[in-house]
Amino acid sequence: MMNVRVAQESDLAELAELFHQSVLSTAPQRYTPEQTVAWASTATDADRFRQLILQPTTYVVVDNTGILGFAGIAADGHIASTYVRSDRIRQGLGSTLMQVILDHASRNGIQRLYAEASEFSLGLFKKFGFYLYDTEIVERQGVQFKRYLVKRHQNQIHTQVTTEV
């Protein structure tokens, strides 16, 4: 049985470990070793990671094994994060989290959603009606990354996605 709830400060250590392990296990498929290390290190910067989780509204999916994934959305519609535990990738949790984010936006009257997607999350965003409008290069710890800028307007017609979890 899975539950979805808002992340709490007491979740930060578990979320940082989930983030770190998720990046280390998936990033090497599409990113260089230097990019992987720089990306994963976000979890070791306690202040930065705390802001990533607690400044937006971050939802977590939990079961009896712990937190399975998380996704955050800011009041301005910025989707700050979408991560799934490395042993649960490709099991519908990303879709579950995205639907939670879309429901949050709808309840709160957020009309425009936007994000900076990675190579891994771009497909998830497209699945939920986001479209790619640009790319950008950012630098983290002296390492450059290409990110995909995506957005979606809530009033656009979209197909309801159902998932089995």
Query: How do residues 27-84 score in pLDDT, each as one tens digit?
Result: 888 888 999 889 888 888 889 999 999 999 999 999 999 999 999 999 999 999 999 9
Residue 110 falls within a domain, yes or no? yes
Residue 158 falls within a domain, yes or no? no
Comparing 64 with 163, the larger pLDDT belongs to 64
Instruction: Name the CA dihedral angle for 28, 34, 38, 44, rounded to a multiple of 10 degrees.
Output: 80
pLDDT, position 156: 54
Residue 160 falls within a domain, yes or no? no
pLDDT, position 157: 43
* Whether the Cβ atoms of residue 40 and residue 27 lie closer than 8 Å to each other: yes
- Structural domain range at position 87: 3-153
Distance CA(4)–CA(57), nearest Å, equals 12
CATH number of the domain where residue 29 is located: 3.40.630.30
Comparing 162 with 34, the larger pLDDT belongs to 34
pLDDT, position 53: 95
- What is the longest distance spanned by two Cα atoms in the chain? 42
- Tens digit of each residue's pLDDT (9 = 90 or more) over 107-131: 999 999 999 999 889 999 999 999 9
Residue 134 falls within a domain, yes or no? yes
Hey, how many other C-beta atoms are within 10 angstroms of the C-beta on 147? 17
Residue 137 falls within a domain, yes or no? yes
N- to C-terminal Cα separation, the chain: 9
Number of domains in the chain: 1
Burial of residue 61 (CB within 10 Å: 0-12, 13-18, 19+) is buried
pLDDT, position 162: 41
Residue 27 falls within a domain, yes or no? yes
